[in-house]
């Protein structure tokens, strides 16, 4: 699919500008709080993932890049709405979830041993990225279709409910049932590989409780 | 055991942690090959006839050059009115058809209806497309529902075809030849069973990956007739004698008994509250 190809080429060409501009609702400035994690949750993934370059300017794609991207899609004969594409590029769970986070964005050799740059940047299996982002991409697709059909209010209301349901969780090292979230999504009526394989409630390893809570609260 | 390096719970679903390690191990075996997953190397076929659908399959499962299972069941149950033949990697077809069957039974419990063929096909298609062919399952779905008798094939990349007769697997060319020659619309039950049997037989004769017995499954509006085996292979081996050894076959040379002495160190009595 054309969208997938564009996503990957953007990743390989320009790694530090991977996270496009986003608006964190807690801190009102564009680009968020620059890693201070005052929001304690919602946008932490983007902030943590862009830990490569902690300065705020790297959170934006430049205007030149946006124009080049739009020009590209026109010359390739795609008649699709490139604005919709841009909204799909941002907010995806970044690859650097593979890379451990320490202070100043460097890897923490004491905790995770020696790593090669290649292992941190590129996924080792073709499906790894697409599986990581699958739920996110499905939701985005569905919400943008809903927005086009019924107007802005429909995805807005639904996302408000999702945000509320997502907060019903136990402490990070304990397994949460996510019952409300499942019911909203409709995944309580279907079964897939994520229900059978690697069930976190039955994992043999437990994370260190204090570390995990500190990580979640941003104190680490 | 608590690991200090785990900062977030690992996600559910497929885990790709070992992919890099496996890629590194590929080069280390020096001419040998990494163990291959069990493939079914199959002939499966299906035909739509006047009152329903007939599905047929052979029963051999191979693991590289060795026959791993001589009585493998390749026709899987999906729902009371839908059955599915699977070719490709054995584990993948098993798990995928199991998931499909669970999803459809949740649906029929929720809605009180028998699922339709198109629903099964769409669920499969979505699931297989999501994994971009990494799940090696070539499936033939056959069933009868309120809209009629249907036969569908779903490929590993998510491609779907709706056809009146079909053969898949490594022996599909030979089976398809027989089907192309003998198929007519609105066949009778016995003729349809004979056609599928001949197709699978041709596949067994011409392909090394197919063999042993032939299973047939007939699905009609009244019910399902799963005949296993429909035809047994003439090359069945016959055990010439029993291999069970009676007691006393092996002579006892010496016997030594050492009693284990245990002494009571402490005795405590705890009262149970049985109100």
Q: Which of A97, A216, A133 is nearest to B10 (CA)?
A: A97
Is the pLDDT at A117 greater than 80, yes or no? no
Check if B15 contacts A (Cβ < 8 Å).
yes
pLDDT of residue B231: 84
Helix (H, G, I), strand (E, B) or coil at B62: strand
CA A16, A20, A26, A28 dihedral sign is positive
User: Quick check: is B42 catalytic?
Assistant: yes
What is the spatial distance between Cα B219 and Cα B216, in angstroms, rounded to a whole number?
A: 10
Residue of A nearest to B127 (CA): A192
pLDDT of residue B68: 85
Over residues B158-197, the pLDDT tens digits come to 999 999 999 999 989 999 999 999 999 999 999 999 999 9
Identify whether the C-beta of residue B83 lies closer than 8 Å to the C-beta of residue B101: no
Average of per-residue pLDDT across A111-130: 65
Check if A8 contacts B (Cβ < 8 Å).
no
* Residues 78-107, chain B, touching A (beta carbon < 8 A): 99, 102-103, 106-107
Check if A186 contacts B (Cβ < 8 Å).
no
What is the spatial distance between Cα A71 and Cα B186, in angstroms, rounded to a whole number?
A: 57
Say what the ipTM of the complex is. Answer: 0.73
| pTM: predicted TM-score of the whole model, two decimal places | 0.68
What is the spatial distance between Cα A146 and Cα A157, in angstroms, rounded to a whole number?
A: 11
């Amino acid at each position: 699919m054309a969208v997938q190809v564009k996503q990957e080429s953007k990743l390989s060409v320009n790694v530090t500008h991977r996270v496009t501009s986003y608006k964190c609702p807690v801190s009102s400035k564009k680009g968020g709080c620059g890693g201070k994690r005052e929001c304690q949750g919602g946008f932490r993934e983007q902030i943590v993932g862009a830990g490569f370059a902690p300065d705020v300017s790297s959170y934006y794609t430049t205007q030149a890049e946006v124009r080049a991207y739009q020009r590209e899609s026109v010359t390739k004969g795609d008649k699709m709405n490139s604005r919709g594409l841009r909204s799909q590029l941002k907010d995806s769970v970044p690859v650097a979830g593979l890379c451990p986070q320490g202070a100043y964005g460097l890897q923490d050799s004491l905790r995770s041993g020696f790593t090669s740059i290649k292992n941190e940047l590129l996924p080792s299996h073709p499906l790894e990225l697409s599986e990581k982002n699958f739920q996110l991409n499905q939701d985005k697709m569905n919400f943008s279709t809903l927005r086009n059909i019924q107007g802005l209010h429909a995805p807005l209301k639904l996302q408000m409910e999702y945000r509320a349901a997502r907060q019903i969780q136990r402490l990070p090292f304990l397994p949460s049932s996510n019952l409300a979230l499942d019911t909203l999504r409709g995944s309580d009526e279907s079964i897939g590989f994520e229900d059978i394989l690697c069930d976190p409630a039955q994992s043999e390893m437990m994370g260190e409780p204090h570390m995990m809570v500190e990580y979640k609260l941003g104190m680490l | 055991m608590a690991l200090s390096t785990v900062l977030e719970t690992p996600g559910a679903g497929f885990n790709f942690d070992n992919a890099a390690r496996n890629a590194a191990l590929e080069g280390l075996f020096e001419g040998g090959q990494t163990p291959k997953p069990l493939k079914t190397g199959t002939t499966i076929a299906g035909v739509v006839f006047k009152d329903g659908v007939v599905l047929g399959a052979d029963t051999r499962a191979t693991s590289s050059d060795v026959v791993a299972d001589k009585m493998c069941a390749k026709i899987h149950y999906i729902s009371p009115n839908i059955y599915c033949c699977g070719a490709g990697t054995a584990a993948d077809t098993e798990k995928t058809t199991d998931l499909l069957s669970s999803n459809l039974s949740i649906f029929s419990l929720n809605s009180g209806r028998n699922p339709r063929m198109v629903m099964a096909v769409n669920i499969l298609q979505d699931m297989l497309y999501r994994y971009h062919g990494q799940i090696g399952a070539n499936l033939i779905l056959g069933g009868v529902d309120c809209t009629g008798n249907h036969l569908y094939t779903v490929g590993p990349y998510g491609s779907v075809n709706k056809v009146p007769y079909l053969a898949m697997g490594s022996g599909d060319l030979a089976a398809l030849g027989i089907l192309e020659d003998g198929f007519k619309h609105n066949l009778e039950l016995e003729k349809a069973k004979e056609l599928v049997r001949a197709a699978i037989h041709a596949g067994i004769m011409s392909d090394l990956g197919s063999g042993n017995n032939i299973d047939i499954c007939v699905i009609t509006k009244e019910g399902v007739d799963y005949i296993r085996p429909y035809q047994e292979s003439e090359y069945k081996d016959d055990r010439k004698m029993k291999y069970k050894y009676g007691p006393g076959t092996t002579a006892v040379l010496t016997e030594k008994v050492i009693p284990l002495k245990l002494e009571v160190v402490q005795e405590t009595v705890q009262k149970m509250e049985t109100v």
